[in-house]
A and B are shown apart, each in its own frame.
Chain A
Amino acid sequence: MSGDNVKKSIPYTVPIGPVHPALKEPVMFTFQMEGEVVRSVDFAPGNTHRGIEWMGMRRNPVQIVHLTDRICGICGIVHSLSFARAVEQIAEIEVPPRADYIRTIMHEFERIQSHLLWAGVAAHELGFDSLFYLAWRVREQSMDLIENITGNRVNYAIVQIGGVRRDISDDQRPLIEQGLTYYRGLLDQMKNVFLNDSTIRMRCRDHGLLSYRDAQLLCAIGPTARASGVAMDVRHDYPYCAYGDLDVHPVLPPQEFGGPKGDVYDRIIVRLLEIAQSIDIIQQCLDTMPAGEILWEKKMPKLLLTLKKAQGEAIGRVEAPRGECMHYVRMDGNEAPATWKVKASSYSNLMSWIPMLKGEQLADIPIIVASIDPCMSCTDRVAVIQGGSAGFLTKEELTRLSQKKTRRLIQCR
């Protein structure tokens, strides 16, 4: 600011990130601002790299299933389900129908908790913290049920190649139904607070617009695409798990709220309506769930041997809470797959930020960025940690630095 060589001219460059209180996830934004208005946007993902695909190509499929659980903390089942479905197609493993239904039930519970988590984050980004508390308190019910079914709140570890690892017993059914009734009673209240609130409407209506054409061209998926009127939903378009037996339709913003406009408000509506849809799907699955086995093969050595012999390539895809999640797997008769490519849902949605943020004000950036429900740990899963190089601090080095600082502070006292 003091030097003569610093040119003061419009547009100003405003960096936000990679870690910033206003952002839900680590991503580096560079905005070109003209006053309060965003002129152009650039973003750089890649701040949560762990090299998971590289690790996977050195492990056997059963180990990878548990690795996929850890790609993302919120999408605990979609990655393991996509990967398992791809491997099952290669090895020609028939999943028992009951396992397909349990997978579907878990898949929908995950959608409920993910959408509620997002609703809370959105409320927080708007500065509406009491609503944030409400959404997250309500979310606990689905987390409790997930814990009841799988034993874990996150990293469910329920999917196994060829089925699921835990059954839903008759004792658990009343609990699940109780949870569904709880949500049914709450939905109208949630819709009321979110959709009839004038503040939320003012902040979200006509902000962060994504047109139908842009959504198609930029390959947007999930609620982001549906809010722009693109009727795509893997559960409707492409049968998998129990969805081939069900009648699921993509949720588009209804006419009564002004039809699909593709703004932040529409993305809120779509997600809220999808919670109601998920409750219906779980109820249908509970009512029509067939009896029988839950695993194709219980004996681990036999499963591993089958997988070792498997050759071929396949795509496993599911509709994650954020949109299509896809895994491409190629196996060539070795223990580890030759290729494993993960396409998380946010990977397809990130490009939508560019048209959404153009022309918006600085203060609207957090809610617009959050409106696609970005999940960076899913998107960034690929790289290799290189210890000892100049720009890098390993965890141990960082811990040591932190300990040093604590000691220094103690001595200053």
Chain B
Amino acid sequence: MSETPYRSPQEIIDLYKTEFGAGILDARITERGEGVHRKKGYNIWIRLDRELLKPAIKKLMDIRFPHFAVIAGNDLGDEIELLYILSVFYGTQFGEYMVTFGLRLPKSDLTVPTITDLIPGALLSEREKQEFFGITVTGIPDGRRLFLPDDFPQGVYPWRKDETGIKPEMVRELWAVNRPKDRPAPPVPEKKPVPGDPVAEGKEKKTGGASE
């Protein structure tokens, strides 16, 4: 495998800006340091036109083969934003950073091309987005449901915040589930705690535990 040169986060953004120009809607770098020395880790966030998704991922593969983590998504009301989260330069000490490509799809046209021809491992995440956001991934080699059971209603997408999301009647609140009332009485009646008796009130056990 040929090693491509290492590039800094700013260099990556510059490369994308020169290649795609106005197709890059927004690009920024965030940094975070922890520990005593506050050694910095970097994340790149690139918002781009929806047509540029595959060229952008191909470009990243030319820079260095990335690790694909997951596709996250936001329901923004009229649009759904998909975030393709990848990381590049793993294997370089403290030199890896996350690259996130964000693209917006209007709810009238929720289609996105598959990237499994470039990175086959993205399949599970694409299947998940189809069932949880109601997005159509065109060219997906396997479009079955992934996590949701087969008898889950069609047209309900758990992560949507509009009328296609989870309906209130589908939610079973655990606190509202009472104990069954049709149980037979226990053969030996339960003892009622005697006031002032430490054994019955469980106080003795507590002190025993504390002295351990």
Contact = CB atoms under 8 A, between A and B. Distances in A.
Interface of A: 44-46, 49, 51, 53-54, 85, 89, 95, 97, 100-101, 216-221, 230-232, 234, 236-245, 249-250, 288, 290, 313-315, 317, 324, 326, 328, 330, 338-339, 341, 343, 347-348, 350-351, 380, 382-387, 389-392, 394, 396, 399-400
Given A219-B122, A238-B96, A328-B72, A383 B90 contact: no
B192 interface: no
A81 B9 CA distance: 25
Contacts of B172: 385-387, 394
A290 B75 CA distance: 42
B37 A245 contact: yes
Contact of B166 (A54, A85, A89): A54
Contact of B92 (A237, A245, A400): A237
A82 to B, nearest CB: 12
Q: Which of A313, A314, A330, A385 has the most CB of B within 10 A?
A: A313
B94 A384 contact: no
A311 to B, nearest CB: 13
Nearest to A47: B149
Given A232-B91, A384-B170, A389 B35 contact: no
Given A101-B35, A383-B147, A391-B150, 16 more contacts: A44-B146, A97-B36, A100-B34, A100-B35, A217-B121, A219-B119, A231-B90, A237-B92, A238-B97, A240-B34, A240-B41, A245-B36, A324-B67, A324-B69, A338-B74, A384-B171
B39 interface: yes
A238 B94 contact: yes
Given A244-B35, A245-B35, A245-B37, A343 B70 contact: yes
B158 A382 contact: yes
Nearest to B183: A403
Contacts of A230: 90-91
B143 interface: no
B166 A384 contact: yes
Q: Contact size class for B?
A: 35 or more
A326 B34 contact: no
13 contacts: A44-B146, A100-B35, A100-B36, A217-B121, A232-B67, A237-B89, A237-B95, A324-B67, A326-B69, A341-B73, A396-B177, A396-B180, A399-B180
B93 A236 contact: yes
Nearest to B65: A216
Interface string B53-91: 000000000000101111011110000000101010111
Given A237-B89, A350-B124, A341 B96 contact: no
B137 to A, nearest CB: 16
A49 B132 CA distance: 13
A382 B85 contact: no
Contacts of A348: 69-70, 121
B74 to A, nearest CB: 5
Given A328-B83, A383-B158, A394-B172, A45 B147 contact: yes
A242 B147 contact: no
A239 B121 contact: no
Nearest to B36: A97
A86 B45 CA distance: 15
B134 to A, nearest CB: 15
B10 interface: no
Contact of B121 (A97, A219, A242): A219
A46 to B, nearest CB: 4
Contacts of A380: 147
Interface in B25-59: 30, 32-41, 43, 45
A315 B85 contact: yes
Nearest to B91: A231
A244 B93 contact: no
A237 B94 contact: yes
B120 interface: yes
A313 B95 CA distance: 22
Contacts of A347: 70, 124-125
A66 B93 CA distance: 32
A219 B67 contact: yes
B78 to A, nearest CB: 15
B100 interface: yes
A218 B120 contact: yes
A396 B181 CA distance: 12
Contacts of B98: 238, 315, 317
Nearest to A53: B159
Q: Which of A219, A234, A243, A250 has the most CB of B within 10 A?
A: A219
Given A46-B149, A380-B147, A394-B172, A242 B166 contact: no
A383 B152 CA distance: 9
A219 to B, nearest CB: 3
Given A232-B90, A383-B149, A384-B171, A351 B123 contact: yes
Contacts of B93: 236-237, 249
B43 to A, nearest CB: 6
Nearest to A48: B147
Contact of B35 (A97, A314, A351, A394): A97
